[in-house]
Structure 1
Amino acid sequence: MLERFRGLMGRLLTPPARLLIKLGVGPDLITWVGTVALVAVALVMVPLGLLWQAALVLGVISFTDMLDGQVARLSGRTSRWGAFLDSSLDRVADGAVFTGVIIWFALGGRPVWAGVAAAALVLGQVTSYVKARAESQGWQVTGGLAARADRLVIAYLGLLLQGIGVPYALAVAVTVLALAGVITVGQRLRQVRRQADAEEASEVDQ
């Protein structure tokens, strides 16, 4: 859903990207620093119960996920390696965010919600894997109910609202994410299945 705002975000990130280029900062360094910072915040602040603070910091750090790409484009340093690194570290970052949430639920004596958060984590990872695996086979996967940006926004919103005292906000967030994950995986599998069936039919006709 949030993919439509990528153009706007690209324009907003152009000034800081140009500054980083002038300072000699490369896209790979931005990717690594952003991931390490996000993992540290997610695995320290969230389990400690600093939820709204973590939500704000994580939201700011997450902009580096687009900033590295903007730096790469403006500096002419886009590469398959950069895309691979970014995608791989995205999985690490997502895992850290939801692991922090799982730990917070577990420490608070809420094992059921910890389990739901774990389901949201697994389904989110599968959502990304299905897209990557399909594209490696030459199929196209687009859209879906909850892409990565949507999942992070919901998770951060849940942390923020829970942190300022809204009861069950994080529980609702992980439940929505788990359900959205099931639907999104189903949508993407259906897309791939249709393309596979079309290829098989084409081969038969030939």
Structure 2
Amino acid sequence: MTSRDSARQAVADYIERPVARLFSRLGLTPNLVTLIGLAIAGAGAYVIAMGNWWGGGLIVLFAGIFDLFDGALARATGKVSDFGALLDSTVDRVSEAVVLLGLLAYYLSENNDLGSILVYVALVGSIMVSYMRARSEGLGIDCKVGVMTRPERVAAVGIGLIVGHWVPVVVLVVLGVIGALTTVTAIHRLIHTSRMIANEDRDVQ
């Protein structure tokens, strides 16, 4: 088991499952929890757009943690469904885009062209990473490889905003790093899928 897998298991045991049990007792459904997470991300985007980056960063990190609970609740209550998985994936993409939209709105209000461009680059890179996974899995190939997946992006943006509230250039650096590493991750996933397809073709032959 890798260190990432060990950390993920610890989070599931000590955070996800206890919170999922609490949500179940409160009568919340997995899909409702997913939508609440989107609302939290939207609130974070508004705070970011208003220039309160440290507050927005905290909300972004909280929204990222909150995103863990819909799946945990679905498993705990036996309500796992294809639609729930689709809704969760869709809301993940929308939440990420909304947060970056808040940052874009701020940069546009400040006439910061570099910031606006870097937000766009980070958004496109994030979309491509998610698209490569979805397209590969549509071909029946598991594709979770890469260094800049969604959890890393959420953590980078959240922490970057908190620090960037006092040192604004940090946010520009974070956006540039996300743009670069999401490009690397998308290419990595393309190569991975290409190799898996080639292996499957050889097995058929």
- Aligned counterpart, 1:169: 170
Which piece of structure 1 moves more, 9-18 or 29-38?
9-18
Conservation of the 8 A alpha-carbon contact between 1:158 and 1:169? yes
Paired residues for 1:76-155 under 5 Å:
76-155=78-157
C-alpha displacement at 1:34, in angstroms?
1.1
Mapped partners of 1:75, 1:167: distance in 2: 44
Unaligned runs of 5+ in 1: none
Mapped partners of 1:2, 1:85: distance in 2: 29
Conservation of the 8 A alpha-carbon contact between 2:48 and 2:106? yes
- Structure 1, residues 13-38: CA drift from partner, whole Å, max 9, x if none? 22221111112111111001111221
Conservation of the 8 A alpha-carbon contact between 1:120 and 1:175? yes
**Partner letter of residue 146 of structure 1?**
M
Conservation of the 8 A alpha-carbon contact between 1:72 and 1:78? yes
Mapped partners of 1:61, 1:99: distance in 2: 16
- Aligned counterpart, 1:39: 42
Conservation of the 8 A alpha-carbon contact between 2:44 and 2:57? no
Mapped partners of 1:140, 1:59: distance in 2: 27
Partner SS state of residue 45, structure 1: helix
- Aligned counterpart, 1:184: 185
Partner SS state of residue 56, structure 2: helix
C-alpha displacement at 1:41, in angstroms?
2.4
- Structure 1, residues 151-171: CA drift from partner, whole Å, max 9, x if none? 1111111111111x1240100
Aligned length: 202
Mapped partners of 1:83, 1:167: distance in 2: 36
**Partner letter of residue 28 of structure 1?**
N
Conservation of the 8 A alpha-carbon contact between 2:108 and 2:116? yes
Mapped partners of 2:81, 2:74: distance in 1: 8
C-alpha displacement at 1:3, in angstroms?
5.0
- Aligned counterpart, 2:28: 25
Which piece of structure 1 moves more, 180-189 or 133-142?
133-142
Conservation of the 8 A alpha-carbon contact between 1:2 and 1:149? no
Mapped partners of 2:3, 2:48: distance in 1: 25
Conservation of the 8 A alpha-carbon contact between 1:105 and 1:113? yes
TM-score by length of 1: 0.92
C-alpha displacement at 1:9, in angstroms?
1.7
Mapped partners of 1:3, 1:102: distance in 2: 32
Pairwise CA RMSD of aligned residues? Answer: 1.6
Unaligned runs of 5+ in 2: none
